[in-house]
Amino acid sequence: MFGRAPSIYDVEVALGIFGFFDSPSAELVAYRRSLFQAVGHSYTVQRRLVDQVPEASLRLSPAEAAERSGAWRDLTGA
């Protein structure tokens, strides 16, 4: 989408979107667990995860992603 390799800022946006910078709800923790459990073992699962996140979420700054983590369903495409 950006025509470049991922940077630290992209990782920070992802961490913010999935609520890793604050105290997430039990529901978000359960959702993350189900998503990330086998993601390292399957390229197909990795692509499915990445592709479900809306482009608008990926365009947020790291600070915006962290601030909006309470709206994780919208940010993650859940």
Tokens 């709206």 sit on residue: 71
Q: Per-residue pLDDT averaged across 50-74, rounded?
A: 89
Which band of pLDDT confidence, cut at 50, 70 and 90, is reported for residue 12? very high
SS3 state of residue 27: helix
What was the pLDDT predicted at 8? 92
- Per-domain residue ranges of the chain: 23-69
What single-letter DSSP state applies at residue 4? S
Got the DSSP string for 40-60? GG-HHHHHHHHHHS-HHHHTS
- Count the alpha carbons within 13 Å of 37 in the hemisphere toward its beta carbon: 7
| pLDDT for res 30 | 92
Q: Look at residue 38 in the predicted model and tell me its pLDDT.
A: 76
What pLDDT does residue 77 have? 86
